[in-house]
Amino acid sequence: MNKRYALIALSTLVLQAQSQEIDSLTTNTADTITQDTAIIHIDTAKATGIDAQIPATDSLIADEESERTGYSTYRFNIGANYYDLSELQTALAQNGYPTLDNAAIQFGFGRTTQHEVIVKEMGLTIHSWRNAKNAIRKSDLTGVDFSLTYGPDIIKANNASLFPFAGADIGVLLLKMSYKGIPFGALAQGESPEDEILHRFTLNGQAGIGFDIRALRDGFMPSIGFRVGYSFDLTQQSSWYRNLSGVSNGPAASTSGPFARVVFGIALPR
């Protein structure tokens, strides 16, 4: 009996040992499978670039949000300027011609380009003074100039730009002195007065501030804004020309003064 019990006890110990060994093998196998699975996932991710794409996508989104978008805006502007024409007015009055106002309306067109924070503008502007008339004579003054300015955008918003600007413009002033009708006395004396057209070249510096706001949408974006600034006559000359010949003792016509414009445009993303 004792031998039987001893054999039973021994068999039980052997079975317990084998069971523990099986459990250990099962645990190790599971761990190995888990590690192998993790390695497979890592290798697959590296092979497909998934692990690199996820942070890269986040980075791209952040870059797109922080990157300044460029625009090309084709614009039309209308406004006014105020120049000191006192010397020209005196010369006209002394020769029997009506005097002109200092203020003129202006209108023009051009292009604004923005790359990152730099705003560049170029355009053609026409200045038109209201003609002045008296009983027999009329005075007209018109100016045309081409301008180029640069400035930094200081608010850095996709739908708006606020920028100080500075630059220069080159142009010409056209002064027309004409008769409303030929005086009878001149006809009686055999004279036939003719209209006179004088011109003078201009070179101005200019500085100011501009603002544009855009309607964000796909494709073209309507925009509206303003420009306010000051023009500086860099020549202060009194040299006028008639048919490309110089006119002596001509009056100065300063093109220094403030200006203001309202700007309408169509902006295209770049």
pLDDT tens profile 202-216: 999 999 999 999 998
Q: Higher pLDDT residue, 87 or 261?
A: 261
Q: Is the pLDDT of residue 124 over 50?
A: yes
Strand 240-242 to strand 245-247: parallel, antiparallel, or no bridges (unpaired)? antiparallel
Name the residue with higher pLDDT: 16 or 256: 256
Q: How many angstroms separate the Cα of 160 from the Cα of each of 55, 148, 221, 227, 250?
A: 31, 21, 11, 14, 46
- CATH topology for 69-269 is Porin (2.40.160)
With a threshold of 0.85, does the pTM exceed it? no
Collapsed DSSP state (helix, strand, coil) of residue 237: coil
Q: Where are the alpha helices (DSSP H) in 157-245?
A: 184-188
Over residues 135-190, the pLDDT tens digits come to: 788 999 999 999 999 999 999 888 899 999 999 999 999 999 887 766 665 555 55
